[in-house]
Amino acid sequence: MRIASILNSAIEYNVQVLWLVAACMRKPKLSNGMAYLNNLYRSELEKIQQYFLITNELFGCTYEKFSNFIETDKAKIKVRTDDGIHFTIAGQRILAKAAMEQIFYKEL
C-alpha cells in the first residue's frame, strides 16, 4: 500500500516516476530482501506505466554475486563502500548519469 500511495501522489500531481532499483548488496539476506522489494516496486510501476532503472547492470552484479568494483577498458573502479551497501562517489556518478539518460522533458 505504501508504494501505491507514493505513486498515486505522483499521478495526482502529473509527475513521472523513475525508480532506481536497489542494487545488489554484500550480505545475502539484505540482497535477497532488496530483490523481493524491487519486484514489488516493478509490479506497481508497470501498472501505471512508469519507469524502472535496473542498477545491477550498471555495477556488473546480481543478487547472487556482489562486487565493490567494476572494470572498464581503462581501470578497475571502486563503486561501493566497504559496508557493501552504499556507493562511492564514483558509484554515485554512475547512478546519476544513468538516471539523467532516462529523463526526458515534455514541451509546455
What average pLDDT does this structure show over 69-81? 94
Specify whether the CB–CB gap between 45 and 19 falls below 8 A.
yes
pLDDT at 108: 61
What is the value of pTM for the model shown? Answer: 0.84
pLDDT at 106: 66
Residue located via cell numbers 519507469: 51
pLDDT at 104: 75
CATH architecture classification, 2-102: 3-Layer(aba) Sandwich (3.40)
pLDDT at 103: 87
**What are the tens digits of pLDDT across the range 5-48?**
999 999 999 998 999 999 999 999 999 999 999 999 999 999 99
Specify whether the CB–CB gap between 79 and 59 falls below 8 A.
yes
pLDDT at 81: 97
Q: How far apart are CA 21 and CA 55, in angstroms?
A: 6
The per-residue pLDDT of the chain, averaged, comes to 91
- What does the domain layout of the chain look like in residue ranges? 2-102
pLDDT at 89: 98
